[in-house]
Structure 1
Amino acid sequence: MLNLTKLFFSSTDDTVFSDNIATTEEQRVFLTDCRTKIRDYLKPAIANATVAVLGMARRVEPRFRTQGSWSYKTCIQPAQPHLQEIDIDYGVYLPVDVWQDNGPPAAMAKKYFDLVETLLQVLCLQEGWKLETGTNAKDTCIRIDACEWAHIDIPLYAAPLEEFNNVVERTLVLNKAQHVAVFDQACGSESFMESAKVQVQTWDDLDTIMLATRSGIWMASDPEDVAKWFRDQVARFGDLGNQFLRVCRYAKAWRDFHWKFGGPTSISLMIAIAQSFEGKRGRDDVAFENAASTLATALNEEIRESGIDDAKEDFNRMKPGEREDASSKALALADALKQARGCQEYQKNKAIQIVTAQLGGRIPSSDHLVDNESAIEIVRSTVPTIVPAPRVPNTSAG
């Protein structure tokens, strides 16, 4: 049997799958710069309009937060860059001094959305970006096409002023070495720190967060729920947390390779993998195969998670026929990985071809990355895999 782990993840100088699907340093710098420009432009402009335009009692400043896949470090390069894009979610949070009927004044949602969109039109003209409008515009956020390979989604939130004042800002002086946290170890050098001195906010005191929509209504929404849950999962798996994170990224890359559009959502993949994750130290190939087997079952069913919204939401948003197709593709992935691992030493190139058929040309073609399992390793591979402790409710402080 073969050990295919180095095709996926390796500490050597070889460029492997995890490297090929990671965003580049140039891309991270570019998107960080875009985000900074958005924040620096919107912060005073929104504050100056809070009284005259939004009808608030006094001038208040918004705050900003990077969220989504950039927050929990699962963003990857698209498998089909001519059809797919890198995206970053950058939320705008406004403290509201008047809270009625469990939300801000109804009329304020449309004013808030129109204000920010108008401001961003000017910024886009200045920067050469494109603001999506018309039928392409989303109801739940403002989208900026910053370049041909990436877009930035800007959702607009509001929270009660008294809660917002409980958000504690603390200044941390971080050097490059301190940036290498558990997520960065799994994803490569990736940091979205705004500078050596950054304002880090704790958001767990915000119990009530409302999202303004283009249609002029407020929606209850807390994007931090998923981020807190995901961080808890990484911590729950202990020294296998890095492997769990990588496997989630592999699954997203598999999804992007097989679906030009649509397919299983990223959150559904993450939840399904977390709920049945079987890690194996030093064997990303085995861990990914186990995850693929899990997905083959999970993607054909409802996917709920008690740590997110009390399991009220089914994160498997595919229709019945789409679920069957996704389940079939996941089963094919699991079978292919098992078949590739079962190849003999002289069949290393065949094993690589089998994996490449499932994940595309970003799998390296170097057969020296494929190891032959010794008799001892084969025996060890039959030992029960490492199973994490039972899941517990989300307890992260954010």
Structure 2
Amino acid sequence: MANASKLLHTTTDPENYVANLRPADERLRYARTRIRAYLREAFEASSAAVFGRPIRPRFFTQGSFAYKTLNDPAHPPGQQMDLDDGCYLPLSFVRGARPSTAAEKFFEFVGAALRELARIEGWRYEEKPTCCRLVIAADSHVDNPLYAIPDAEFLTLEDRRTRATTASADVAKADTWEELPSDEVLLAHREEGWIESDPRKIHNWFTDAVDVYGERLRRDSRYLKAWRDNGKLDRYKVTSILLMACAWQAYGKIGGLNLSNREDERLLRVVELVPEYVRGRVSNPACEDEDLNRIPDEHREEVAGAFEDLAALMRRVVNSCEDAREAVRLLRHAFGDRVPDRPDLVSIESAAVTGLAAPAIARTAAATVAAQPKKVVAAPEVGRSRSG
């Protein structure tokens, strides 16, 4: 039985899987700072003429970068590091026209500014349904989704963690402000105008979940994401937020007190539960009405089967592998070559003294000791000591 926990994470050796997944995010941080400054300048210079009054936008970083679950991509440029930085305007600022017109104008204004910035920096500008994207390198891009937020919340919105204070409401499709919720955060959509979407809610959910379960939840989420990337399952819409929700749901079913401190054992227990989840509905923990499982029906069984194969491989490592090199080979096969080729980080434990056999072995040992004849030995000489 192999204990491969240190291959995944350890504080005693600088080389481990988590360390090798650590993204080089300096370019992302630079781009975020540059984009924010450029958009503020653009709004200061032209917002009064375009929108009718001057405004200074606010920003809120969301997604994997904010959750600290960002991994270095396994297969760039097809896979890239992603920084989501929302750009917020107050609802009163965009209500001057019909919702669809206001969303279109918002996209046009921000898009024009970012195209110019892309030209200056040598980046590539792209349009997505819910954001403006700047591809800043072969392995990374920044998305700027555009939001309208109630005025009172806009005044207190900061570029850090805030608590969501609004409740859910049905998304309205009509092109009138009266039919849109006035107390919700709205996301601009190129085809649909505005849709209800408050990224702070899921941000707060995951932050609270880590407060409850500790950093192990963050690490297990990163393991699942890295495995997905290595196998290119992102092509089936196996999203990061889906995997985070699956890990959290598995933790709840296993129970906090039953979660192993060993990385490999705990991850195995989580992976064993995921196939059931990806075959069905996975509720958004921050909004029960939303299903996070966007995997197409025709691919769900394939994705579930891939997780079952991963579970079988990890069971082989944890429960029956008796060779450290074989344990490394198996984990590198599943998770990729960023699992270090370090058999010295794997320990082989005898099945006779682990798992369910341990209590019986302990009882046998105790009986053997009790059966031995008692021996009287002299008490050891103990010198004077001082407590400290």
Q: TM-score scaled to structure 1, two decimals?
A: 0.78
**Distance in 2 of aligned mates of 1:98 and 1:13:** 53
**Distance in 2 of aligned mates of 1:49 and 1:140:** 23
Amino acid at match of 1:308: A
**Distance in 1 of aligned mates of 2:134 and 2:157:** 30
| SS, match of residue 75 in structure 1 | coil
| SS, match of residue 241 in structure 2 | helix
**Does residue 120 of the first structure (1) align with residue 114 of the second (2)?**
yes
Distance apart, 1:272 and its partner CA = 1.4
Do the aligned partners of 1:47 and 1:61 also contact (CA within 8 Å) in 2? yes
Distance apart, 1:362 and its partner CA = 1.3
Q: Compared with structure 1, are the counterparts of its residues 168 and 363 closer, same or farther at alpha carbon in structure 2 (3 Å cutoff)?
A: closer
Stretch of structure 1 that moved more, 105-114 or 211-220: 211-220
Do the aligned partners of 1:292 and 1:333 also contact (CA within 8 Å) in 2? yes
Residue matched to 2:250: 276
> Residue deviations 1:16-39, cap 9 Å, x none?
11111121xxx3222111110101
Query: Which residue of the other structure, out of 305, 321, 331, is the alignment partner of 2:308?
Result: 331
**Distance in 2 of aligned mates of 1:99 and 1:344:** 62
Q: Matched residue pairs, number?
A: 336
Distance apart, 1:116 and its partner CA = 0.5
Coordinate RMSD, CA, aligned: 2.4
Do the aligned partners of 2:164 and 2:201 also contact (CA within 8 Å) in 1? no
Do the aligned partners of 1:7 and 1:363 also contact (CA within 8 Å) in 2? yes
Distance apart, 1:335 and its partner CA = 0.8
> Residue deviations 1:121-140, cap 9 Å, x none?
111111111102xxxx3111
Q: Compared with structure 1, are the counterparts of its residues 59 and 282 closer, same or farther at alpha carbon in structure 2 (3 Å cutoff)?
A: same
**Does residue 163 of the first structure (1) align with residue 158 of the second (2)?**
no
Residue matched to 1:151: 141
Within a 5 Å distance, the mapping from 1:175-190 to structure 2 comes to: none
| SS, match of residue 50 in structure 2 | coil
Distance apart, 1:86 and its partner CA = 0.8
Within a 5 Å distance, the mapping from 1:305-324 to structure 2 comes to: 305=284, 307-309=285-287, 311-324=288-301
Do the aligned partners of 2:187 and 2:196 also contact (CA within 8 Å) in 1? yes
Residue matched to 1:9: 9
Comparing both structures, which one devotes a greater share of its residues to helix? Answer: 2
> Residue deviations 1:116-157, cap 9 Å, x none?
00011111111111102xxxx311100111111101111011
Within a 5 Å distance, the mapping from 1:84-163 to structure 2 comes to: 84-97=79-92, 105-132=99-126, 137-163=127-153
> Residue deviations 1:342-398, cap 9 Å, x none?
3354x111122122221111111211110123655535989xxxxxxxxxxxxxxxx
Distance apart, 1:216 and its partner CA = 6.8
Amino acid at match of 1:125: R
Distance apart, 1:99 and its partner CA = 7.3
**Distance in 1 of aligned mates of 2:87 and 2:103:** 13
| SS, match of residue 219 in structure 1 | strand
Distance apart, 1:104 and its partner CA = 7.4
Structure 1, unpaired ranges of 5+: 170-198, 383-398
Amino acid at match of 1:42: L
Structure 2, unpaired ranges of 5+: 167-182, 360-388
Amino acid at match of 1:320: D
**Distance in 2 of aligned mates of 1:123 and 1:59:** 21
Distance apart, 1:212 and its partner CA = 1.6
Query: Which residue of the other structure, out of 303, 306, 311, is the alignment partner of 2:282?
Result: 303
Residue matched to 1:202: 162
Do the aligned partners of 2:38 and 2:117 also contact (CA within 8 Å) in 1? yes
Amino acid at match of 1:22: R
